[in-house]
Amino acid sequence: MNGFLSITQIPCLLILKESELCVDHHLACIDADISHLSAALRQLREKCHLLREAKHNHRAALSPASILPPELLIDILFCAESDPIDIFNTSRPAWAISKVCQLWRSIITVHCPKVWTKISVLCISERAEMLKDDALLSVLETVFSRSQNHKLDITMEFDFTCDESHPVLELQNDIWDALTLHVERWEKLYIFLHPIDMHVLGDLRGRLSSLKEDGLQYSSPTTAPRLESFKYRVELCDDEEWDTGDGIPLEYLFNIIRNSPKLAAIDICCQYSSYDTVSPHISKPLLSKLVVNNTVFLRSLSVTALKEATLISDSYVQPESPSDFLADFHDLLVESRCSTLNYLNISIDLLNQHLLSNLQLASALTSFNLCQYTWNDQDDMVMWEFIVQLADMKEFIPHLEEVELNLPIRRKVDIRFADRTMVKMVEARRHLSLRKFGLIGDYARFCNLTGDDIEELKALQADGLDVTLLGTRTCDYSCDPLEYDDS
C-alpha cells in the first residue's frame, strides 16, 4: 500500500499544485516588471549620459579650462611656481588658483608643492596692518604645509626701527621664528639686515645644511657646505656715506668662503674692518665668478678656473685701501695660473700699465667692460696703448668679441684716445672676432675724431657691426648714437 496515495492525501497535492502555479504567476509578473524597469533604467541612464554630455559641452563653451585633464592642469599650474608667495597678499596667483574650484584647489595645494616653496616677506611695517599677527602666522603655516618637504627659497627684509617697543618688531620676530623652524629646508636665502638685527643670524648657526645660494645685504651665516653662490652687499644711496662702525670682520667672510667647498660665485661689496691678507691662500678650484671691491680678496684667493671678474674700486667704497687693484689682480692670475678668464669688468679710480698686463694674460677673454667715473691724462694714455695693441697685435686678446667703454664723468672732458687708430682697430678686429664696440661718455668730447671717422663707423654699423659712440654736452640720449655735439 506504500506505493499508492491515500484518498486523504489527494486534496493536499492539489493545493500544492495550485500554490506552485500561483508562485509561477507572481514570478512571471515580477520578471515582467524587472524587464520593464530594466528598460526604463536603461533609458534613464541614456538620458543621464546625454544630459551629462550636454552639461560638459556647455561648460566647455563657457569655461574651456574646466575640462582640461588633471595631468595637463598640473603642468599649467606649475607656472605659478615662478611667483613668490607673498604672505601679506593672499590674492596672488597661488592663492587665487586655490579659490577657483575644488579640482583646482586640490591640484595646487596637494599636487604642486613646489609652487609654495618661494616665500617673500618684504615691507613689514607698511603692510603689517593688512593682517593680524595670528593670521600671518596661520598663512605661513599653510604655506609650509603645502610645500610638503621640498627645499625653500626665503626672502626677508628686516625693517629698521630704533624703538624696541614698536609693534612691528614683535611681528617681525614672530615671522622670523616661524621661518627658522624650517631652516634645514632652506636652499636659497636672501635677507636684508640692519646692524641692530644682526643677532638673528645666531639662529642659523650650524643649521644651513641645504643652503646653495645666499644673498645678504648686511651679514651672513658662517658655514654652509652646499653653498654655491654667495652675495654680500651694503648698498649706499647717493646721499649716504659709510657708517658701519668698524665694518664686517674679514675673517667672518673668509670663513664662509673657506668652509664652502662648492662655492662657484662670490659677490662681495661693502666696507671692511681691515685689509689683512689670508695666508696661505684659500684655494677655490670651482670658483668661476668673482665680484669684489677690496684687493684683500685678490691677495687671499687662488682661483684656477675663474671665468668672470668684476673689480670695483673708488674712494667711497674703500677710502683707506692701501693696494693697487690691477696689480693685485695680475698677481692673482699669475699665481693661480688662471687662463680661463672670458669676462672682465673694471671700475676703478686710476688706470695704469697693469691693465695691459692683465689683458695680455687673458688669452681667452671675449668681453671687456670699463666704467670710469673720473678721467685724467694717465687714463687716456693707458687706453690709447690698449687701442694700439688691439690694432697692431692679433695675438693680443685674440678672441675678443665685445668692448664696452663707459665714461659717466660728471664734467666736460676731452677723450683723446678715440682717434683714427681706434676706428681702424674696430675695422680690423671686426674681421677677427669683434661683434660689439661701444664708447659712451656723458660729457665727453672726442676731440681727435673727424667727420670721416664717424662716417666709417656708421658704415661698419650699417654692415652689421654693433657700434655705439656717444659723446654729448648734455645727457640727451635720444640723439643718433654715432653723433655727438662737438661745439
Residues 106 and 37 in one domain: no
Residues 112 and 185 in one domain: yes
In which band, very low, low, confident or very high, does the pLDDT at 320 lie, cut at 50, 70 and 90? very low
Asked, for residue 420, whether it belongs to a domain, the answer is no
Strand pairing report for 301-302 and 282-283: parallel
Distance CA 166, CA 125 (A): 10
Asked, for residue 347, whether it belongs to a domain, the answer is no
Asked, for residue 477, whether it belongs to a domain, the answer is no
Q: Quick one: pLDDT at residue 241?
A: 40
In which band, very low, low, confident or very high, does the pLDDT at 139 lie, cut at 50, 70 and 90? confident
Domain boundary among 206, 227, 248: 227
Residues 45 and 149 in one domain: no
Domain boundary among 171, 196, 227: 227
Asked, for residue 252, whether it belongs to a domain, the answer is no
Asked, for residue 23, whether it belongs to a domain, the answer is yes
Residues 215 and 88 in one domain: yes
Which helix (DSSP H) or strand (DSSP E) does residue 331 occupy?
Answer: helix 325-336
Residues 134 and 144 in one domain: yes
Residues 16 and 58 in one domain: yes
Residues 80 and 221 in one domain: yes
Q: Quick one: pLDDT at residue 325?
A: 87
Residues 99 and 62 in one domain: no
Tell me the one-letter amino acid at 380. Answer: D
Task: Give 31 or 396, the one with higher predicted confidence.
Answer: 396
Question: Do 300 and 277 form a contact (C-beta atoms < 8 A)?
Answer: yes
User: Quick one: cell of 272?
Assistant: 671692511
Residues 72 and 109 in one domain: yes
Range with lowest mean pLDDT among 106-115, 331-340, 444-453: 106-115
Count CB atoms within 10 A of the CB of residue 380.
17
pLDDT(350) > 50: yes
Report the percent of the chain where pLDDT is more than 70: 77
pLDDT(322) > 50: no
Residues 112 and 60 in one domain: no
User: What's the domain count of the chain?
Assistant: 2
Range of the domain at 32: 10-66
Asked, for residue 483, whether it belongs to a domain, the answer is no
Asked, for residue 55, whether it belongs to a domain, the answer is yes
- SS3 category, 191: strand
Asked, for residue 139, whether it belongs to a domain, the answer is yes
CA distances from 334 to 268, 299, 302, 349, 356 (A): 22, 12, 10, 23, 14
Mean pLDDT of 99-113: 82
Domain boundary among 192, 227, 262: 227
Average pLDDT, the chain: 80
Residues 130 and 219 in one domain: yes
Interval 61-74: pLDDT, tens = 666 666 677 777 77
Q: Give pTM, 2 decimals.
A: 0.62
Query: Could you tell me the sign of the dihedral formed by the alpha carbons of 281, 282, 284, 289, in that order?
Result: negative
Residues 29 and 132 in one domain: no
Interval 141-168: pLDDT, tens = 888 898 898 998 888 877 655 455 566 7
Interval 7-34: pLDDT, tens = 566 667 677 777 778 888 888 889 888 9
Mean pLDDT of 207-230: 68
Interval 181-199: pLDDT, tens = 888 888 888 877 765 566 6
The β-bridge partners of 436 are 402, 466
